Amino acid sequence: MEENVICVESLQEKKEMMKGYFKTIGDLHLLRAISRFKEGNGYGESCKCCSFATEYHPEEEGYFGETGVNFSMIPPLSKFEVNAIVDNETFYCYLKEVCVDYLKRFPKDSTIMNQYLIEIAKRLNVDC
């Protein structure tokens, strides 16, 4: 990666990046985001985004491995690009927490939300 790119290493900092990402997309964009996740595509809002390893070819800029999810924050939110790569299971477990919290406020979306989560779990080959 370039020298103007910072890669977060600690799990706590990675979780903070995920938390900030989901706070940024908020309730308004969560269903849109997870509908993209179920297709294996990332989603971004306001200089924060996430992308799946499967979106990149090994020779492509941004490639970060065969599996995982990269949460990125770019200027002007930070001085440099900041990346936090988590494994699929960490991502999915946190996503489930976010969705449970969302459904407390919007229970009418439970059917579609639960279907999306099932599809995402299958795509990522995880069970959390």
Q: For residue 18, is pLDDT > 70?
A: yes
Residues in contact with 49: Cβ distance below 8 Å, sequence separation at least 6, in sequence order: 21, 42, 43, 71, 72
Domain interval for residue 44: 5-124
Q: pLDDT tier at 1 (50, 70, 90 boundaries)?
A: very low
Look at residue 79 in the predicted model and tell me its pLDDT: 86
Measure the CA–CA gap between 21 and 43, rounded to whole angstroms: 10
**pLDDT tens digits for range 69-117:** 999 998 887 888 999 999 999 999 999 999 999 999 999 999 999 999 9
Instruction: Specify the number of domains making up the chain.
Output: 1
Q: What digits encode the pLDDT tens for the residues 45-75?
A: 888 999 999 999 999 888 899 999 999 998 8
